Amino acid sequence: LLLILTICHVLSDKSQTYQLLNLIFDTGYYFMPAYVGFSAAKIFNTDRMLGAFIGLMTVHPSWVQIVTANKPFHFLGLPVPLVQYSSTLITAILSVWIMSYIYRFVRKITPGMVKVFMEPMLTMLITGPLVFLVIGPISNWISQGIGFIAMWLYHNAGVIAIPLLAALYPWLVSIGIHKALSPISIQLVATQGFDPIIRVVALCSNMSQAAASLAVGLKTKNKKLKSLALSSSATAYLGGITEPALFGVNLRLKKPMYGAMIGGAIAGVVASFMKLKAFIYVTPAFLSLPMWVSKSENFVVQAIIVIIVASIATFIATWMIGFDDPVDKSQIKEAKKEEKKKFDKDHEKHELHARAKGVLEDVSKVDDPTFASGVMGKGIAVIPSEGKIFAPDDGVVTATFDTHHAIGLHLNNDADVLIHVGIDTVKLRGTGFISYFDKDQHFNKGDELMEFWDPAIKKAGLDDTVMVTVTNSKDFDIKLLKDAGEKVTTIDIVMEVTKK
């Protein structure tokens, strides 16, 4: 806000109004060690007030004056490194972590009647000097090392590091590891004055997630998914909040994630060549474009170019890769209702064709007690002259078997039909059988459902009779139109089924 006000000459950076606003807005950064210490104490299961105390201790005005004076300073004869700790994270995190063990030790040895004042006093008496003598300087080296590595990558390997991170970033977000990169970004802004890597990567990834969700929203036929995808895309574009798009759309459908990875990597290449820099640690999006502006540099145009590149590349990649569009159950139910109404109106009686070529046989006389007894329902049997089974009418496959010797069907008139090739042919374990349809797959009347090699059945000494039964016979009046011994082909109508 201050940047915009000063750039637009609404407010002078010399005015007292500016100074007061700057003081307010800078408080979070200046006293960041206190916030970090307070939060870290919760993670390390120790006293949160002491965690905040450690952070505040490192930004105490007296310590700031000591560092500013830049004169040798000693504690019990030991030299104390003069390190500036405001706007830092790592010192507070490591200090609170070590303090958590000291605090637990102190609690064990402190008598109950003096715990209220002795515990915090002893804890700080041990931890405080350690922070200034050891933990703080080590943390400062770590921070400088992180900054050095990040800047080295920026200057020497940005064209590789940024696209690679941008492609992987959504997966890091999906498991929460991306939060580990936030301290690096904050540290860079605090020490270097800008972040040329982590926020840039986040911009590429966020906009790619938004574009992938947009592509899904425009391509899907599912009304609920369309609404979710478009709203999630808008949220990601405007505020950089990608979780709805990531978890609700792209990760759920899987393939859009690949489109986002491709688009993010391409945008990363463009961003690395333009040496894009973020000057504020916020979530990258359209509403946070001022994050790319400082008093001396302006990368807003470059950021917009990256957004456009990420959007176009991701949209095209996602659209071309495609995704498995989830079926809208409400639409299916409605369609089925309409289909059933039409069928009931047009088909009071339903005629079923023979499923295989051969000679009809009375199903009650087949050498299989289960089918012969009628337990599996009324139907017919065919002694086949050809090893092919065809669909008797339109419907959907409801059951398949690993051995491919049988298939369950649900016809459009709600008749459930089981076609079983041979007796005890399950023993062949699929040898000699081929199935052309999978479960839940639709078929039309006359489609070839399965094929079997008759010699394989006979060689095994098994009966090759094809049995066809309506398993929900109790719901239908079934009339056989052909007699046993008659030859039939797939165009012959052998059964009339009327719903009760």
Q: Which stretches in the chain have pLDDT values below 70?
A: 87, 328-336, 339-351, 353-355
Query: How far apart, in whole angstroms, are the C-alpha atoms of residue 35 and residue 432?
Result: 72
Range list of H helices, 403-453: none
Inter-CA distances, 365 with 288, 356, 371, 384, 421, Å: 80, 18, 9, 16, 16
Instruction: Report pLDDT digits (tens) over 382-420.
Output: 888 888 888 888 889 999 888 888 999 998 878 888 999
pLDDT at 343: 60
The whole-angstrom separation of Cα 331 and Cα 338 is: 11
pLDDT at 492: 78
- Whole-angstrom distance, CA of residue 147 vs CA of residue 141: 10
Model confidence over 183-224: pLDDT tens digits?
Answer: 788 878 877 889 999 999 999 999 999 999 999 999 998 888
State the pLDDT at residue 345.
Answer: 52
What is the model's pLDDT at position 331? Answer: 64
Closest by CA to 378, choosing from 498, 253, 286, 209, is 498
Residue 99's pLDDT is 95
Pairwise CA distance, residues 261 & 293, whole Å:
27
How far apart CA 468 and CA 417 sit, in angstroms, is 7
Catalytic residue, candidates 178, 353, 405, 420: 420
Nearest to 190 by CA among 85, 94, 284: 85
pLDDT tens by residue, 111-160 = 888 888 899 999 999 999 999 999 999 988 887 777 777 778 777 877 88
pLDDT in the model for residue 253: 93
The string of DSSP codes covering 127-192 is: HHHHIIIIIHHHHHHHHHHHHHHHHHIIIIIHHHHHHHHHHHHHHHHHTTGGGGGHHHHHHHHHHT
Amino acid at site 194: F
The 8-class DSSP code of residue 195 comes to B
For CA atoms 43, 46, 48, 50, the dihedral sign is negative
- Exposed/middle/buried for 272, CB within 10 Å: 0-12, 13-18, 19+? buried
Cβ density class 400-424: b for 16+ within 10 Å, e for less: beebbbbbbbbbbbbbbbbbbbbbe
Q: Which of 273, 259, 314, 310 is nearest to 160 (CA)?
A: 273
Give residue 375's pLDDT: 84
Q: Are 204 and 260 in contact (CB under 8 A)?
A: no
Between CA 189 and CA 196 the distance in angstroms is 9
Structure token digits, residue 33: 């060690």
Chain-centroid distance of CA 227 in Å reads 18
Q: Would you state the pLDDT for residue 332?
A: 65
**Which pLDDT belongs to residue 269?**
95
- Rounded to whole angstroms, the Cα distance separating 74 from 81 reads 9
* Active-site annotation holds for 347: no
Where are the extended beta strands (E) located within 335-405? Answer: 350-353, 358-361, 378-384, 388-390, 395-400
Task: Quote the pLDDT of residue 340.
Answer: 66
pLDDT of amino acid 57? 94
Query: Angle of helix 90-109 relative to helix 115-130, nearest 10 degrees?
Result: 140
pLDDT of residue 100: 95
Measure Cα distances from 54 to 46, 78, 323, 495 in Å.
12, 21, 51, 87
Q: How many CB atoms lie within 10 A of CB 332?
A: 10
pLDDT at 350: 66
- The one-letter code for the residue type at 354 is A
Strands of 476-480's sheet in order across: 350-353, 493-499, 476-480
